[in-house]
Structure 1
Amino acid sequence: MLRIGAVSYLNTRPLVYGLRERLEGLGSLTLDLPSRLADDLANGDLDVALIPSIEYLRGTGAQIVSDAVIACRGPVWSVRLLSRVPIANIRRLALDEGSRTSAALVRLLLADQYDLHPETIPLPMETDPESVDADAVLLIGDRAMPPPTGVYQEIWDLGDRWCQWSGHPFVFAMWIAREGIDAQPLAKILAAARDEGVQNLESIAQQEAGSHGLTSNDLHHYFTDNLHFRLGPQERQGLHIYQQRASELGLISQAREFHFCSAS
């Protein structure tokens, strides 16, 4: 039985639509923060997980299982930098505990656009972003989506910033299998779950809206206009650009070759 982990945020709902039922007899599914999923995969506590793309680039896991991903081709909404000072004046940056891909992305963008390398501190999930002693905070996932309650001079949507800077989509998370796992049977299941989820975005939005303080129209817009769920040629190119620049900045040790367990 495969031990499979997926991100607990709203952005994953279309990828895991009906997945538990599809996994019957093959594996179990657990949900957690992306950073914790990466640690569990690296430690061997999970066999396949939807992990931050930066963690795969850093060497976690052996292969990309499916072309089902969490990506964007413009504004992503759920990954935002909120700055209390002009961006160029950021000296201390609080990074969302759940984030690794976006934590590297914001450092990359600040370095390339402002030659900034601020001190970083963690922002735990239970901590109110308004209470943290920092010039700016990076929020990801569900808690990044409501309107901010504090006073901020600048707000960046990191998906939008990346796409404008690179001219390519950005891939936040991918299904990755650890070494020694035959994930071939899982590849079609993950793609099928994604395809069914994309066909039912309106239904998913209606189911999830009330519990997150967002309207079904808000969520339907998020799923259809802000997110992209397929790893295509442009997404791969975006990953290569991200990997190259992250390597140049020392955010990853060295570039790695992408390995796929199936055509994707």
Structure 2
Amino acid sequence: MDRIRHRIGAVKYLNTKPLIEGLAQENGVDLVLDLPSRLADRLLAHTIDVGLLPIVDFLAHPEFGLIPGISISCAGPVLSVQLFSRVPLEKVLWIDADVGSHTSIALCQILIQKTLGLLPQMRPFPLEADPNHSKADAVLLIGDRALSASLPDFPFSFDLGWEWQKLTGLPMVFAVWATRPKVDVQALECLLKKAKQRGLANLPRIAHQASQELNLDGAICRKYLEHIIRYDLGPKEVLSVSEFARLAQNLNLLPQRINTSHASPFG
């Protein structure tokens, strides 16, 4: 049996699959799949060496390192982060928020506060609960559950990726690869960039397989992976992360001392 050299934490969502293509078959790699909101705790506990963290969790921990050049982001509608509302947005007082990602909850609060000057109450909504049965004014869904949601009793919907671009003119970065201290970052960077290259070269196959595994429409999966989700972390994405951090700090959603290693590749 090969000795485990790299412990990698990721999530089961469709948008992650191109970034972990082939990792489970790599010698010496232990790939762990969990909720995005739990991966920061795994890094802090040193049970993984690198994790695909929600950007808000990465920013909140200055001790984490960064794998450069890779993200889960969008430049416009994202489809998989959606706010569904029973009432017009200005009348929303209570939101049931998917517990899967801290970033989407913070993004929702930022957008509503910046556009309307409001801060609705956010309550955790269990993953196993049916959003059709929510009693809240609105529900915030992420990932595959958002992609397949219709929610006929919620006539208003808002794509948070699109709302962020309208507000800032920037792409929205949802997640990055973050490392715990004292790991071989160069080896992990090489491993993860090769996985990304494999994934991007095989998007049609990944989309087809994922549609069967996740019970999602195959055409939607392919469009989502090929034309909606972006996987780079370049200057515009870095600028967006900094703007997200500033706005989150203004609402006390992040501490004043944050992780700034995302900016170092670009000065």
**Structure 2-normalised TM-score?**
0.93
Alignment: residue pair count: 262
For 2:197, the equivalent position in structure 1 comes to 195
Q: Which SS does the other structure have where 1:185 is aligned?
A: helix
Describe the superposition over 1:220-247 as per-residue Cα deviations: whole angstroms up to 9, x where unpaired: 1000111000101110011011011111
SS at match of 1:45: coil
Q: Which residue of 1 aligns with 2:136?
A: 134
Q: Which residue does 1:9 correspond to in 2?
A: 13
In structure 2, what residue type is equivalent to 1:246?
A
What amino acid does structure 1 have at the position aligned with 2:9?
Answer: G
Structure 1: how far apart are the matches of 2:185 and 2:242? 23
C-alpha distance in structure 1 between counterparts of 2:162 and 2:227, whole Å: 12
Distance across 2 between alignment mates of 1:60 and 1:99: 19
Identity among equivalent pairs (%):
39
Q: What is the SS of the residue equivalent to 2:10?
A: strand
Cα offset, 1:66, TM superposition: 3.4
Secondary structure at the aligned position of 1:230 is classed as: coil
Q: Does 1:102 align with 2:82?
A: no
Partner residue of 1:124? 126
Trace 1:162-201 onto structure 2 (pairs within 5 A): 162-201=164-203
Instruction: List structure 1 runs of 4+ shifted beyond 6 angstroms.
Output: none
In the alignment, which residue of structure 2 is the partner of 1:114? Answer: 116
- Gapped regions of structure 2 (runs ≥ 5): none
Q: Which consecutive residues of structure 1, in runs of 5 or more, have no partner in the other structure?
A: none
Q: List per-residue Cα deviations over 1:64-121 (Å, max 9, x = no partner).
A: 1232211001100010000111100010111101010010000000000011111111
Q: Are the structure 2 counterparts of residues 253 and 263 from structure 1 closer, same or farther at C-alpha, using a change threshold of 3 Å?
A: closer
Given the superposition, is the C-alpha separation of residues 30 and 38 from structure 1 closer, same or farther in structure 2, using an over 3 Å criterion?
A: same
Return the match for 2:89 from 54, 66, 87.
87
> How do 1:21-60 residues align onto structure 2 when only pairs under 5 Å count?
21-22=25-26, 24-25=27-28, 27-59=29-61
Partner SS, residue 13 of structure 1:
helix
TM-aligned CA deviation for residue 255 of structure 1:
4.6
Deviation for aligned residue 1:257: 4.7
Kindly state the Cα deviation for residue 60 of structure 1 after the two structures are TM-superposed: 6.1
C-alpha separation in 1, matches of 2:184 and 2:260: 17
* Structure 1 counterpart of 2:15, one-letter code: N
**Partners of 1:257 and 1:120 in 2: how far apart?**
25
Distance, in Å, in 2 between the alignment partners of 1:255 and 1:79 is: 27
- Determine the C-alpha separation between the residues in 2 that align with 1:257 and 1:204: 33
For normalisation by structure 1, the TM-score amounts to 0.94
Q: Distance in 2 between matches of 1:139 and 1:60?
A: 28
Q: Counterpart of 1:145 in 2: which secondary structure?
A: helix
Aligned 8 A contact 1:64 1:258 in 2: no
Give 2:229's aligned residue: 227
In 2, Cα distance between equivalents of 1:156 and 1:40: 32
Taking only aligned residues, the RMSD between alpha carbons, in angstroms, comes to 1.8
2:217 counterpart residue number: 215
- The answer on whether the counterparts of 1:76 and 1:157 sit within 8 Å (CA) in structure 2 is yes
Q: Secondary structure at the match of 2:40?
A: helix
SS at match of 2:18: coil
